[in-house]
Structure 1
């Protein structure tokens, strides 16, 4: 039989909180008895990464031996289910169970790719670890660059609104975010109603929402991100997490804060790209007698080169343009801004000849940015005559929508700008009837459907033909209906690599 020493020491490693995988790996470091080693040692179980040497032992205890006054009892035979070996096995089993749980929760968190999803996952996982049902997370980065938000678990918007009416200094997350005394680390409030100094408004809100205890933790990133916010979990009855629960939630929140810091940076970059793109597009559409205008634009997460424009021209004319620059990111957005500004200048000088406008634009693109190509469509409109003269360079044909017809405008086949040594294609003239709407769009609208090009065109035609008559007097309502029909389930607003541009002009 193995002679297992009564005193053993297990050497463990510090948890790698910054890594994506906190699960079981490698092998247990050999544990050695404090006294002289025996000739035989127990086999070494696998090593688990993420166990801290300060991890408190599980709540497993050995019953004390009873005190007797009679003759000494005959010692019982050693049992496999008792003794130091069994205690060590229980402790290791508890550690493995905890680390397996952390591994699963951090994997689920790592799969989130948006800030809102990561915050919800943080609340759900934290509630499971501390034994709560509800909670909230307040995101307020210390650098004041935003975004600021509050998300609840098991709490509606009205509930969060009630909580916000409590003075921040009386709330645990408020003390953390404001840097008040006692807000440097975790804050446990095991029985709110038993506290003498509880704010009256806090007492009222807690009674109304039905929580009696709370446990709050700061969200702090170690990689220079600083404080990101605070998370609070609420208990229905007086309670607080145990020592081991606090250790596990501490490991999880440390990893979650690093993940949130990365997503926060991505969110800020996306917001910056959206703002830059929107600033390069018209802030408002012009008002020209005889025509109503509406535009819808959705930008991809990395920023794309799709654009539109509408500008008044001499002799009460109107210039409409849509286009797309190849590529994505800041360089494509900057190229789009340069191309749009150049087209506006050419349109003012010779807008009545769309072919000349696009020819000048092609020459500029070929000389200044030879490695880039673009598609564009320019239309010279005379609203009083409802006459349109347009030319396209590798762009999708416009769609004419009226009470008696829904058809694509026949345009000549032409190459995109920058693809040939010299671009030129004939223009097309058409006359719109009173009440008809011309839809100009970029190919991103078709690509987001996920369908082949011919099927995407058919779906666009069907979506335009299906606009109810009650909406056809409003170009904005027409554009919204086409987007909802062509891109259901909110696909028009979802992040996608493709930009979407839809410009609607209704002639009176």
Structure 2
């Protein structure tokens, strides 16, 4: 960590004397969202007190980026949809944007270019941290965001000093931080450290930002090394501008930073671009479209420079195929071998694997009172991590089903377990329905899952939609329970979004309306025949050919469970 003498410390204090702190509402949001016992109602009340911020949260929750068909009408509903992490990020970004607007210039550096660079460093740090067991990706994102805060504050509080530092950097080919240190005696990161301390960020994050000022070696904490690597990576791609005038890191240096994988360079570039675009959209940052074109071209040149691209791609594909096989095997073991026999009912299920292995699963849990619990779930993500998480969620739900008969309470218990045992990126949607065979009563609860279709004997339909967020996002969430009657001759169709969201060549989804039409046209069929008809219709929609001769754009797994109550003689 950098140690300052008394004179420098006083200079910094004088420099920051006129710099505003976070807006009170933003500061309160940050405080609440970092608490383990965060109360959603209290958070909603705090945001509702600030009308512009409340409107911003409502607009974001209803934006097309979240792919939600049902509009939210209250701040609380908006927070449920956004989640605690995104809520925290929005508050922090809004506060920082007030301090460092993305319009105008910081000295001679266009503000929008500096924001591009800063967001890219934060994104790159977050992605790099996912492969480091000692570093949290959220911490890397936050620290990366603060790493560049000193320059806009200097432009505001000491413009002449910043201008002189830029001239020195250009004249002697220096990093801007070193030029500032020669003139003022401290680096811009020390300004960022002061602001982080003022905003009461964790000491380890503050220390990591401070430690980036050194030359760095393998003895440095992981987060500091990751931040330096992220900074060098973004500079090499010439993405945005940070004011540095020293030579851009070479391809060989970047290869060493990335572990020698040219393929990883290109993948990381794409991931950074997506995260930057998403983050900028949260606060309406006007970043120039098409930013990543030159950066991607540069990434491909780096991959070629590193060499052995063909062999490397083959090894990457081989590793991905091995992971895919392991994930597929896990998923296969999660699915029941057969459907239970329930007198007066017929039951069947289908799972059609997609190109990507996802976390879809379904299951049945007979109750001691003669009831039958049906479940279907979809785990966020794909590949081996999603399959492993699916196994954990299924085991948790099936274990608890015997002692927690109420579907709503069961979802609440699984939600709390998932929230406490996984990170912010891990969540699942799930639909549970308990059938009383004697009466046809269905007691159900929905945790953010694709609506389930209930049809009557004459084809009338009702969608059993979600009334609560997915599992694992918010602690202490309640999942309301509802009741319906499955009439003789009617059926219940549980599905995952791989069916309703499959798209055709014109990017149009199969959708719920088409699903309902297929069901209505096959009410006289057996559940197994109905399930096959649904899959065939969805695949035909994707391929444009009926019957489908090719799988079309079938990327996601397609899973469904069909329960039919037999008509009385």
Which structure has the bigger radius of gyration? Answer: 1
Query: Going by fraction, where is helix more abundant, 1 or 2?
Result: 2
Query: Going by fraction, where is strand more abundant, 1 or 2?
Result: 1
The interval holding the TM-score normalised by the smaller chain is 0.3 to 0.5
Normalising by structure 2, we get a TM-score of 0.40
